[in-house]
Amino acid sequence: MGTPDLILKNGLIIDGSGRPGMAGDVAILGNRILAIDSSDTLHGDHELDCKGLVIAPGFIDTHSHSDLRVLTEPTLPMKIRQGITLEVFGQDGISVAPI
């Protein structure tokens, strides 16, 4: 395991599996999760106290209407701020394609 860039400490970790959340820490290197631990053994140069906050992987928006907005703002910052990291476009049988 490389040295983490960031440790998210003391958060409620929700992993998306449907299991109850657990208190713990998450070690991050670049854009990858290196480790998840509930015993306070993860440490790094940069630590962010997440007490009272939820740590979760990105969320999937399965019914998005950002088809046109993504053309003017490709990174969709308003969605990233909500934790959405994947969007499905065209699910209603319509699309802005081939624009």
Burial class (CB in 10 A: 0-12, 13-18, 19+), 13: buried
Domain assignment present for 78: yes
Q: Is 28 among the domain residues?
A: yes
Q: Same domain for 49 and 23?
A: yes
In a domain, 1, yes or no: no
User: How confident is the model over 22-75, as pLDDT tens digits?
Assistant: 999 999 998 889 999 988 888 888 999 999 999 998 889 998 888 888 889 999
Tally of structural domains, the chain: 2
Contact partners, residue 92, CB within 8 Å, separation at least 6: none
Strands 22-29 and 32-37: antiparallel
pTM above 0.85, yes or no: no
63, 44: one domain? no
- Which residue segment(s) compose the domain that 80 sits in? 58-99
